[in-house]
Amino acid sequence: MAQATVPDTLAQRLQACTACHGKEGRATRDGYFPRIAGKPAGYLYNQLVNFRDGRRRNAAMTHLIEHMSDDYLRQIAEHFATLDLPYPPPKADDAARPGQARGEALVQRGDPTQRVPACVQCHGAAMTGVLPAAPGLLGLPRDYLVAQLGAWRSGQRRANAPDCMAQIALRLSAEDIGAVASWLAAQPVPVDAKAVPASTKPAPMECGSAAR
Cite the DSSP H helix spans in 125-206. Answer: 142-154, 164-171, 174-185
> Which of 188, 26, 25, 172 shows the shortest CA–CA distance to 94?
188
Predicted TM-score of the model (pTM): 0.84
More confidently predicted of 97 and 47:
47
Q: Is the pLDDT at 13 greater than 70, yes or no?
A: yes
Cα dihedral 117, 35, 212, 127, rounded to 10, equals -30
Query: Would you state the pLDDT for residue 30?
Result: 63
Least confident of 25-29, 85-89, 112-116: 25-29
Max Cα–Cα distance, the chain, nearest Å? 71
Mean pLDDT, the chain, integer: 90
Question: For helices 70-81 and 41-53, what crossing angle results, to 10°?
Answer: 140
Distance CA 34, CA 30 (A): 10
Q: Check if the beta carbon of residue 172 is closer than 8 Å to that of residue 114.
A: yes
Are 38 and 137 contacting, i.e. CB atoms less than 8 angstroms apart? no
User: What pLDDT, on the 0 to 100 scale, is given for residue 8?
Assistant: 75
Counting other chains too, the contacts that 154-158 makes at CB distance below 8 Å and 24 or more residues apart are 156/56, 156/57, 157/50, 157/55, 157/56, 157/57, 158/50, 158/55, 158/56
Class level of CATH domain 10-185? mainly alpha
Q: Is the pLDDT of residue 118 over 80?
A: yes
Per residue in 124-180, pLDDT (tens digit) is: 999 999 999 999 999 888 999 999 999 999 999 999 999 999 999 999 999 999 999
Annotated domain spans of the chain = 10-185
Per-residue pLDDT band at 7 (split at 50, 70, 90): confident
Contacts of residue 206, Cβ cutoff 8 Å, sequence gap at least 6? 162, 164
| pLDDT tens-digit readout, 190-206 | 888 889 999 888 989 99
| CA atoms of 116 and 168, how far apart (whole Å) | 6
Q: Which residues, other chains included, contact 88 with Cβ-Cβ below 8 Å and sequence gap of 6+?
A: 26, 29, 139
pLDDT bin (cut points 50, 70, 90) of residue 4 is low
| pLDDT-based confidence at residue 12 (cuts at 50, 70, 90) | confident
Q: What is the mean pLDDT of residues 8-23?
A: 83
- Give the residue-averaged pLDDT of 62-71: 94
